[in-house]
Amino acid sequence: MAPGSPPTMRSVARLAGVSMMTVSRVLTDPEMVAEETRGRVHDAIAKLGYVPHRGASSLRSGRTGFIAAVLPTLVNANFADTAHGITGTLRARGYQLVVGYTLYRLDEEERQVHSLLARRPEAIVVAGTVHTRETTRALLDSRLPIVEIWDLPQHPLDRAVGFSNHEAGRAAARFLLSLGHRRIAAIGPSAEGPARDHRGEARVAGFRAALEEAGLGGDVAVQPCPPPMSFTEGAVAMAELLRRMPDIEAVFAVSDLVAFGAMMECRRRGVDVPGRVSILGFGDFELGRQSVPTLSTVRIDAYAIGERAAQVIVEALGRDAPQGPEGRIVDLGFRIEPRESTRARAPQERHLG
Amino acid sequence: MAPGSPPTMRSVARLAGVSMMTVSRVLTDPEMVAEETRGRVHDAIAKLGYVPHRGASSLRSGRTGFIAAVLPTLVNANFADTAHGITGTLRARGYQLVVGYTLYRLDEEERQVHSLLARRPEAIVVAGTVHTRETTRALLDSRLPIVEIWDLPQHPLDRAVGFSNHEAGRAAARFLLSLGHRRIAAIGPSAEGPARDHRGEARVAGFRAALEEAGLGGDVAVQPCPPPMSFTEGAVAMAELLRRMPDIEAVFAVSDLVAFGAMMECRRRGVDVPGRVSILGFGDFELGRQSVPTLSTVRIDAYAIGERAAQVIVEALGRDAPQGPEGRIVDLGFRIEPRESTRARAPQERHLG
DNA sequence: CTGAAAGCGCTTACAG
DNA sequence: CTGAAAGCGCTTACAG
């Protein structure tokens, strides 16, 4: 093995006594090469410890084998699940995922999209449907298959895989209303500052809309916290909510992590869940299935979003890509999963309204 | 903009009326180009929506700007934190992280290392110190800076950043012993099957060693579960432990997630924590700081591991790389963090031994 | 079944 | 301050 630079295809060819083309064929289409020749090439590869230079082959072939993904963070089991879902499907087909984190910032998303695009991915997956004008332009100019995930845009840039956050929020509100609750609040992302969770905001907006439809607009309190929201933010927001609305009956939290934090705050204060307050989370994190009480939630399948996005990419990269608007949006839906943290109010407790 | 293929540096040069070299300089060393010329080039870039082709530039310059990381999974806040720690430091220096997941399998690690190496990263970070012979060979043959993280090998392949899992396990045992517990068990990874958590196994081994030093070897029960371990595995293991050792006094769980699952199982069974059983976790996940009761844990700093690994890489890629064995191993240590889930046994409860 | 030539899109190493 | 030539390590497109 050369002491300096790593072995090249040329060095393998030389050692095996064949041309570079033959080495190349052994690597990409072995059947095409005589068995005896193939053996010599394999021996040379092993002897030199040759690792093909994917960047060089990409340059000539025009196929990098990269799929780019732009996600807010991976320190969130939901997005990590989605990333695994993408990888699981793509790995078998020889693609590699390059991920960029935005930390919930659109300006950072723009930067990530730019540096990801410079790697010439064959498709790009991006969380959310809200982007800067420049991000949108860059994405569109790339002429790559684009899959927006985790929400359902009216007009996708290209394709989309997800569910309606707005509808999920509405469903959450209707569920709590159906339990007889009237003093209801939400814990959601603040709509200010550089870090924004637009999908969480959509859920809260849908939640608010449903309560207003029910004539309860005035009673909706939304406790905002800056993304990324987790346990601590949920606990802090719940404390504030209990102060502002001592008679609060139900809370919808923008994620199960936030809901869990809120639930723990209740326990610390001796507020019984679901006896006094019902808490509904979102996302169906494993945590909520194991906690005591178990957490009622809006179930979505984060892994499936990734898996489906990957399938959409494979399809788009194939010849039979759908051209019309149909089939370009995949709605994976959501489902209310009632568990122990929510409970119907007893009839005598119910309000007149 | 060309309808077919994306704009190239050549097309930018043509439009700006300069040579490709000038365009290249505007991109990499703008100071070198006359302001007026630079302006024309920037206009052409904007007009065409030109995105430099990083793969092509890498091929010629020999610098890909990739750093590879091989981690078990990202669906674990600890490893996701480490990934963020690496990115945080590297992003500013223009590096991009390419991650491969092993799903706790050494054969998958081998595959990932191979396909990652084909991307010609400038350095490689790999979780753990146990690798297949072939992985070790490929890593060493690459002559790249290698940083093994999340443990401290006796003889690192190159460099290492982490802490001693074995010592952490011993410290866990000594802590529970110091509280007066004698009927002690551990919940750890099973050492069979294709998926293995070698770092978790090391913690359990250290735990067992400390108990044996204390003459309590006979009392150690280890409840194994296949990785990745989380809430459910912890709950199942705790149920089994309570069946096997009804008089159990303390449990060390290989991670906070497992510990939380165990704690919830205790609550479901009316077993008071820490009243009847003390539970000690590992990893200092945010969950443990918010749960009720809060979870005593062995605190390690996952983000710092990533951050430090990135610094080590930057240093190794620089000229002043340390050559001797000194400075090649960074021990970030750990610390027992007693919280509410562990409690000392009252004197009258204590065993004679 | 195998190979010689050309070129993917940039940057290096010169030269002026 | 700017440019012409060569080449990074492969694969395409031929040819035999």
pLDDT digits (tens, 9 = 90+) for A77-127: 999 999 999 999 999 899 999 999 999 999 999 999 999 999 999 999 999
- For A212-265, the pLDDT digits (tens) are 999 887 556 777 788 889 999 999 999 999 999 999 999 999 999 999 999 999
Collect all residues of chain B within an 8 Å Cβ-Cβ radius of residue A74.
Answer: 74, 80, 83-84
What average pLDDT does the segment A286-308 reach?
97
Ranges A69-78, A160-169, A343-352: which has the least confidence: A343-352
- For B36-66, the pLDDT digits (tens) are 999 999 999 999 999 999 999 999 999 999 9
Collect all residues of chain A within an 8 Å Cβ-Cβ radius of residue B83.
Answer: 74
Q: What is the mean pLDDT of chain B?
A: 92
DSSP class of A270 = T
More confident residue, B52 or B218: B52
- Separation of alpha carbons A171 and A181, rounded Å: 14
Asked whether the beta carbons of B194 and B219 are under 8 A apart, the reply is: no
Global pTM value: 0.93
Asked whether strand D has any atom less than 7 Å from the CB of A59, the reply is yes
pLDDT at A219: 58
The residue of chain A with its CA nearest to that of B87 is A101
> Hey, is the C-beta of A117 within 8 angstroms of any chain B C-beta?
yes
A52, A64, A235: residue with CB nearest B290: A235
pLDDT at A1: 38
3-state secondary structure chain B: CCCCCCCCHHHHHHHHCCCHHHHHHHHHCHHHCCHHHHHHHHHHHHHHCCCCCHHHHHHHHCCCCEEEEEECCCCCHHHHHHHHHHHHHHHCCCCEEEEEECCCEHHHHHHHHHHHHCCCCCEEEEECCCCCHHHHHHHHHCCCCEEEECCCCCCCCCEEEECCHHHHHHHHHHHHHHCCCCCEEEEEECCCCCECCHHHHHHHHHHHHHHHHCCCHHHCEEEEECCCCCHHHHHHHHHHHHHHCCCCCEEEECCHHHHHHHHHHHHHCCCCCCCCCEEEEECCCHHHHHCCCCCEEEECCHHHHHHHHHHHHHHHHCCCCCCCCCCCEEECCCEEECCCCCCCCCHHHCCCC
What average pLDDT does the segment A297-319 reach?
94
pLDDT at A325: 56
pLDDT at A223: 75
Test B115 with A97 for CB contact under 8 angstroms. Answer: no
> Hey, is the C-beta of B58 within 8 angstroms of any chain A C-beta?
yes
In Å, how far are B13, B222, B251 from B235, measured between CA atoms? Answer: 64, 14, 12
Asked whether strand D has any atom less than 7 Å from the CB of B321, the reply is no
Q: What angle do CA B123, B127, B128 make, to 5 degrees?
A: 120
Collect all residues of chain A within an 8 Å Cβ-Cβ radius of residue B114.
Answer: 51
Compute φ and ψ for B183, nearest 5 degrees. -95, 90
- Preferred mutation among B24, B48, B51, B303 to probe A, highest tally of A CBs within 10 A: B51
- For B225-280, the pLDDT digits (tens) are 888 899 999 999 999 999 999 999 999 999 999 999 999 999 999 999 999 999 99
pLDDT of residue A353 exceeding 50, the answer is: no
pLDDT at B324: 58
Test A98 with B101 for CB contact under 8 angstroms. Answer: no
